[in-house]
């Protein structure tokens, strides 16, 4: 396994060095597509939204009707093109923006193929590898939704989805956290800060709205959160702002609670409107909720694979690509390949030593599902 881990890290670093902001993943996708072709995977292609597919064909069939397993990892990162992708490789740690989220998981797709072949593990059903776009930020799971649409949710659809996230080793995400995201914009006539004093300012109106949103009382059970993550607007320090906008993230473990909080948010936003003040409320992201019971065979198998590596599993809820299949009743979990820290910062790093256990977990899981 030592040689495989070294190859895995080499590939992860090569992937990390290719910028891949959400909505701009094409160069990284093309790189992964070339690696799929080099590995001799079947049916390698890129779909209309930019997802990359490759199939490892079954070598034995347990029944006339086969149901594929789909293993995915997302291509995009939170970092814009302007971020310097400096990498630092040390014996026990690799540091660099996006190395854990999600370059190591993309490399893990190929590492899984290498491990299955080295061990001569025979697959009873086709096994699809997918590198998908638009998991981060305002991507709205566009890539994964297209993947689920492609394979369908019929009785002949995928047996299960396994979603890889780089720094979540020990976690088994079997519950999908519901998320709704808004962009709320305020528009006014604007004017001069002295001459036109008294006219409504879009910035003032939006700031007051943000304060009212932050004051909303949210339940702790089911856990529910609200975050104004971005505010923009205005022209200059001495101009009454004609435009301002904010981006808002709502999350809840309860689907009905999320709907109720969203209703309150929209009512507060509409309440800002009056003569001379226009408000636009737009839903810019919708990550549907869903879950599998803790005693589902896939969840139990994932826990067993971790325990076999001496790792105590933690059943969890999260907002990941698994939301898309889980919301449609398709078995899906998200797991990690190693540990690390600093996700979504330029100081992000992964630990090297746990990778061996992470890959062993993945190989056992895929073999067990087959």
Mark which of 264, 287, 310 sits at the end of a domain: 287
Same domain (yes/no): 19, 94:
yes
Same domain (yes/no): 53, 183:
no
The mean of the pLDDT values for the chain is: 95
Closest CA to 109 of 249, 235, 12: 12
Same domain (yes/no): 260, 279:
yes
Mark which of 287, 310, 336 sits at the end of a domain: 287
CB 76 within 8 A of CB 21: yes
- The structure tokens 């310097």 sit at 84
Q: Work out whether the CA dihedral 164, 165, 166, 172 comes out positive or negative.
A: negative
- pLDDT tier at 107 (50, 70, 90 boundaries)? very high
Long-range contacts of 29-36 (CB under 8 A, 24+ apart): 29/75, 29/131, 29/133, 32/75, 32/106, 32/109, 32/131, 35/11, 35/110, 36/110, 36/129
User: Which range of residues forms the domain containing residue 88?
Assistant: 2-177+289-369
State how far Cα 98 lies from the chain centre. Answer: 13
Closest CA to 333 of 347, 320, 350: 320
- The structure tokens 């740690």 sit at 93
Q: What is the pLDDT of residues 42-67, one digit of tens each?
A: 999 999 999 999 999 987 655 555 78
Task: Tell me: pLDDT of 197 over 60.
Answer: yes
Same domain (yes/no): 160, 73:
yes
Whether this prediction's pTM lies above 0.85 is answered by yes
- pLDDT tier at 154 (50, 70, 90 boundaries)? low
Q: Is 229 exposed, middle or buried (0-12, 13-18, 19+ CB in 10 A)?
A: exposed
Q: What is the pLDDT of residues 206-265, one digit of tens each?
A: 999 999 999 999 999 999 999 999 999 999 999 999 999 999 999 999 989 999 999 999
Task: Tell me: pLDDT of 168 over 70.
Answer: yes
Q: What is the pLDDT of residues 293-308, one digit of tens each?
A: 999 999 999 999 999 9
CB 18 within 8 A of CB 87: no
Same domain (yes/no): 192, 264:
yes
With pLDDT > 90 as the criterion, what percentage of the chain qualifies? 92
pLDDT attached to residue 65 = 58
Q: What is the pLDDT of residues 5-29, one digit of tens each?
A: 999 999 999 999 999 999 999 999 9
Same domain (yes/no): 122, 132:
yes
Task: Tell me: pLDDT of 334 over 60.
Answer: yes
Mean pLDDT over 268-277 rounds to 97
Same domain (yes/no): 156, 17:
yes
Same domain (yes/no): 11, 57:
yes
CATH number at residue 69: 3.40.630.10
Count of domains for the chain: 2
Mark which of 241, 259, 287 sits at the end of a domain: 287
CB contact set of 353 (below 8 Å; sequence gap of 6+)? 92
Q: What is the DSSP string of 284-311?
A: EEEE--EE--TTSHHHHHHHHHHHTTT-
Same domain (yes/no): 172, 307:
yes
- pLDDT tier at 155 (50, 70, 90 boundaries)? low
The β-bridge relationship of strands 243-252 and 290-291 is unpaired
pLDDT attached to residue 125 = 86
Same domain (yes/no): 238, 155:
no
Conformation bin of residue 105: beta by default, left when phi > 0, alpha when psi is -120 to 50 = alpha
Same domain (yes/no): 120, 96:
yes
Same domain (yes/no): 245, 167:
no
């Amino acid at each position: 396994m030592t040689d495989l881990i070294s190859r895995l890290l080499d590939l992860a670093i090569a992937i990390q060095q290719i910028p891949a902001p959400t909505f701009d993943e094409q160069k990284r996708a093309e790189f992964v597509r070339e690696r799929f072709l080099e590995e001799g995977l079947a049916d390698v292609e890129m779909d209309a939204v930019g997802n990359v597919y490759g199939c490892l064909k079954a070598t034995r069939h347990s029944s006339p009707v086969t149901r594929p397993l789909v293993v995915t990892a997302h291509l995009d990162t939170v970092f814009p093109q302007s971020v310097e992708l400096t990498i630092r490789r040390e014996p026990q740690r690799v540091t660099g923006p996006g190395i854990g989220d999600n370059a190591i998981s993309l490399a893990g797709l190929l590492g899984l193929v290498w491990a299955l072949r080295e061990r001569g593990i025979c697959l009873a059903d086709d096994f699809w590898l997918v590198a998908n776009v638009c998991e981060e930020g305002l991507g709205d799971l566009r890539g994964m939704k297209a993947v689920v649409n492609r394979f369908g949710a019929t009785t002949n659809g995928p047996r299960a989805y396994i979603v890889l996230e780089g720094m979540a080793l020990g976690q088994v995400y079997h519950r999908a956290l519901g998320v709704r995201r808004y962009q709320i914009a305020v528009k006014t006539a604007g004017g001069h800060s002295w001459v036109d004093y008294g006219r409504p300012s879009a910035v003032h109106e939006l700031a007051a709205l943000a304060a009212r949103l932050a004051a909303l009382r949210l339940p702790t059970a089911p856990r529910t959160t609200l975050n104004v993550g971005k505010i923009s607007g205005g022209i200059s320090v001495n101009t009454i702002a004609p435009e301002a906008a904010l981006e808002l993230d709502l999350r809840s473990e309860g689907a009905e609670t999320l709907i109720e909080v969203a209703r309150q948010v929209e009512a507060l936003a509409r309440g800002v409107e009056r003569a001379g003040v226009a408000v636009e409320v737009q839903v810019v992201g919708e990550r549907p909720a869903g879950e599998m019971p803790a005693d589902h065979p896939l969840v139990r198998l994932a826990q067993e694979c971790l325990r076999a590596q001496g790792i105590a599993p933690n059943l969890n809820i999260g907002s990941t690509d698994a939301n898309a299949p889980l919301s449609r009743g398709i078995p899906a979990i998200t797991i990690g390949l190693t540990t690390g820290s600093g996700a979504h910062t330029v100081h992000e790093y992964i630990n090297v030593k746990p990778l061996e256990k992470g890959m062993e977990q993945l190989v056992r899981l895929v073999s067990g599902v087959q």
